[in-house]
Amino acid sequence: MRIWKQLLVSLAVVGVGVLVWGRLAPGAADTLKAAGIPAGLVAWVAPADSTAEKGGAARRQSGGFGGPMLVVTKPVAFAVVNDRLNAIGDGEAIRSVVATPYSTGNLTDVFVKSGDKVTSGQVIARLDNDEQRIAADQARLTRDRAADKVERYENLKRAAAVTDVAIQDARDELKAAELALQKAELDLRRRDINAPYDGVVGIISVNPGDYVTTASEIARVDDRSEILVDFWVPERFVNKIRVGGPVSATAIARPGEVFTGSVEAVDNRIDQASRTLRVRAKIDNPEDVLRAGMSFSVSMQFAGDRYPSVDPLALQWSAEGSYVWHIVGEKAEKVPVLIIQRNPDKVLVDAELAENDMVVTEGLQRLRDGSDVKVMGATAAPTQPAVAEGT
């Protein structure tokens, strides 16, 4: 095909395109006039532009072509979040101590074995104490002699055979002897290793005949009447945790058994790395079935926070953020929302929505604020508010 024929065909195609565009596209006349096209030619190319503009405005006013926009709605429910706390914690005995000797020496006796229950003051083990017993007997003899001397001097005083100075010296000797006896008896008692309180003895790693020092561990005694459980809670629960608040715990080693207790202590600062707060709970252990070091699943209940709950399909986004279309009468109203929690079947939002308000879930692509709508397929309102579990 020759070049001039190709140019003619191209011009014809462009002309037809401009003609179709001018007759169908709203605002084509204004565009042609702005381009400097004569008014007569513009009227021929886009004769129905003004009519199209009026029709488009009418459609925008009504919200669609030929009448109100057809939409599907669902009611707004209310849900509760942050009403439950679940955490994993580690248990420790309410009191735990490692019994160690006051002095060095050889063990002569170990009176308990692993797992025995002991009472406060009970002797667990004993070091060799021959030297201390001899010292205590000598101190006791010295004390008795000093007491006899004071008694004799006081009897002689009646006969004026002893001066007051001599009597006072005898009394001072008696006090010194009594103090020496107390020291000797204390040294003797400290050859015994005693339980500081009621509890259960752990594994004993020493035997009679071993030489021990003040750093040697004789036995660990745990008071397991109550168990302390340390766990960490997210920062958002800080204002809800109170000392004395109820706590439920389940030991990983004893599934199905629930133990009750209360919050014993709350730390005074939040860990900056994990953004969590350390909390200590005290769990009753009347049957002595729990052990120190056990892992626990801790649960706490709170009043929680109530938020509107909408269908995920109702959420839309714009440059200003997320929003939903709220149906008021037969009009669509744009309501900004702040997403609090997203779940597979519902989204909790912070918005000016009331329970059972209708929000659009289908047919919302061409809605505008104030558009006329016709609701189809609206679902019935729920009889009870939904509840969203906290973490």
Q: What CATH number is attached to the domain comprising 339?
A: 2.40.420.20
Taking the complete model, does pTM exceed 0.85, yes or no? Answer: no
Q: What is the pLDDT of residue 18?
A: 67
The answer for 221, left when phi > 0, alpha when psi is -120 to 50, beta otherwise, is: beta
Q: Which of 218, 192, 195, 221 is nearest to 119 (CA)?
A: 195
Q: Tell whether 232 and 292 lie within a shared domain.
A: yes
Q: Tell whether 289 and 318 lie within a shared domain.
A: no
The answer to whether residue 103 is domain-embedded is no
The answer to whether residue 200 is domain-embedded is no
Q: Tell whether 296 and 322 lie within a shared domain.
A: no
Q: Which of 56, 32, 54 is nearest to 45 (CA)?
A: 32
Q: What is the pLDDT of residue 30?
A: 64
Residues 274, 321: Cα–Cα separation, whole Å: 29
The answer to whether residue 98 is domain-embedded is no
The answer to whether residue 387 is domain-embedded is no
Q: Tell whether 51 and 73 lie within a shared domain.
A: no
The answer to whether residue 58 is domain-embedded is yes
The answer to whether residue 23 is domain-embedded is yes
Residues 11, 8: Cα–Cα separation, whole Å: 5
Which residues contact residue 288 at a Cβ distance below 8 angstroms, ignoring those fewer than 6 apart?
200, 224, 225
Residues 343, 358: Cα–Cα separation, whole Å: 20
Q: What is the pLDDT of residue 366?
A: 79
Q: What is the pLDDT of residue 15?
A: 72
CATH of the domain at 182: 1.10.287
Q: Tell whether 310 and 241 lie within a shared domain.
A: no
Residue numbers of the domain that contains 167 = 129-190
Question: In the block, which residue shows the tokens 């659009």?
Answer: 360
Q: Tell whether 51 and 9 lie within a shared domain.
A: yes
Facing residues of 341 across strands? 348
Torsion of CA 331, 337, 339, 342, to 10 degrees: 0
Q: What is the pLDDT of residue 61?
A: 45
Q: Tell whether 224 and 265 lie within a shared domain.
A: yes
Q: Tell whether 229 and 297 lie within a shared domain.
A: yes
Q: What is the pLDDT of residue 44?
A: 64
Q: What is the pLDDT of residue 185?
A: 94
Lookup: tokens for 370: 């104030």
Q: Tell whether 312 and 361 lie within a shared domain.
A: yes
Q: Tell whether 293 and 340 lie within a shared domain.
A: no
Lookup: tokens for 388: 């969203």
Q: Tell whether 310 and 297 lie within a shared domain.
A: no
Residues 389, 79: Cα–Cα separation, whole Å: 9
Q: What is the pLDDT of residue 59?
A: 46
The answer to whether residue 312 is domain-embedded is yes
Q: Tell whether 299 and 323 lie within a shared domain.
A: no
Q: What is the pLDDT of residue 53?
A: 45
The answer to whether residue 386 is domain-embedded is no
Q: If the chain, 391 residues long, is cut into consecutive pieces of 10 residues, what is the mean pLDDT of each piece?
A: 69 69 62 67 58 44 59 87 85 92 92 92 93 94 93 81 85 94 94 92 91 91 93 88 91 89 93 92 90 92 83 88 89 90 86 88 82 70 46 44
CATH of the domain at 271: 2.40.30.170
Q: In total, how many domains does the chain have?
A: 4
